Amino acid sequence: MPSRWPLRTKPSRPDGLHYDAGFLSGTDRQTIVAWLSTLQPLWEQRFSLVRPLPEGETQRRLLRPVYWLGNWQFACLDYYRPPNGLYDRAVQAEPFPPVLQKLVSVIEQRARRMFQGDPDFPEKWHLNTCLINFYGTQLEGGKRVDVARVGEHKDFEPGPVGSISLGERALIQFVTSRKPGERDGVVAQQWLDDRSLQIFGGEQWKRRTFHRVQRVDTKGGHRFDIKVADFETRRVNFTFRYVPDEHVVPFASLSEVARKDVEGYVRTLALSSPFFANALTAPARPAAPGASRR
Ligand SMILES: O=C(O)CCC(=O)C(=O)O
């Protein structure tokens, strides 16, 4: 049986997991929900010139629309993945809005108390990146297809991750790697409630285990007004991460091939984001010396 870790309201160091069910105030929630409706999330494709289609595969979209703050890691350029995948991956994006910046400062304080001295806690660690995942139902040729889940994976950015959830509760599971034919080894799981915060990090939760969103509930009646055609959003999750600042580059400093791959996305973002409109018009310039390119 998977173990369920106890609900904690105080940061806890020993096992690198922290869950706070009522982290977000009602007022902050309202502010965030209003801001979310101004965004234009993207439904990204997985492959491109930089990341060509593996033999026998077909081009596929991600399972869900996403938005990134701080830096955008486009799926088709592959994600930030030390030690080898550092360059041409983290593209400067909009800063956190004030309400998120305020919450990030609290998360950073808790994480510092939990992980100070941990081997996977970089000296310069701060939460400068946020992936916003939109979970829900896709309308496809008159059919409703539930795509509210995430397969098992690791977050490769160094240091702990902070995760805020809004909307329907979701079941996150931490699983051990498994060989073909072996059953899932679920080592911990937690329902992530509306307004909750989860922090995880360290050897056990970032390196040894994978995590996945197994399912998203439907019982709470939550819906978000998000600008994605033919998609009904019932949960939104924010994961805050750290990418060393020297690896975050402006769109104009990407290699030519990477710029070509993501220019269409940046043009779409520019329609509703002054930040990306400016990024498009900045003259192309090479990355800092020493940044090795593809
Ligand atoms: O939606 C969640 O709770 C987790 C999302 C996640 O696994 C990720 O962003 O890497």
Share of the chain above pLDDT 70, in %: 90
Ligand 1 pocket at CB < 6 A: 131, 133, 150, 155, 163, 165, 170, 172, 192, 211, 213, 237, 239
What is the C-alpha separation between 224 and 134, in angstroms, rounded? 9
Distance CA 156, CA 81 (A): 5
274 token code pair = 């002054």
**Atom 8, ligand 1: which residue's CA is nearest?**
239
Q: Model-level pTM? A: 0.91
268-278: average pLDDT: 96
Nearest CA to ligand 1 atom 9: 239
**Buried-exposed string 236-270: b where 16+ CB fall within 10 A, e elsewhere:** bbbbbbbbbeebbbebbbbbeebbebbeebbeebb
* Per-residue model confidence as pLDDT tens digits over 196-215: 999 999 999 999 999 999 99
The predicted pLDDT at position 46 comes to 86
Nearby residues of 128 by Cβ (< 8 Å), 6 or more positions away: 70, 71, 241, 242, 243, 245, 248
Structural domains of the chain, ranges and CATH numbers in brackets: 17-281 (2.60.120.590)
Mind listing the pLDDT tens digit for each residue in 16-49?
A: 999 999 999 999 999 999 999 999 999 998 888 8
User: What residue owns the CA closest to ligand 1's atom 7?
Assistant: 212
Rounded Cα gap, residues 99 and 245, in angstroms: 22
pLDDT tens per residue across span 130-178: 999 999 999 988 999 999 999 999 999 999 999 999 999 999 999 987 6
pLDDT digits (tens, 9 = 90+) for 89-136: 999 999 999 999 999 999 999 999 999 999 999 999 999 999 999 999
Q: Which atom of ligand 1 is nearest to the CA of 150?
A: 7
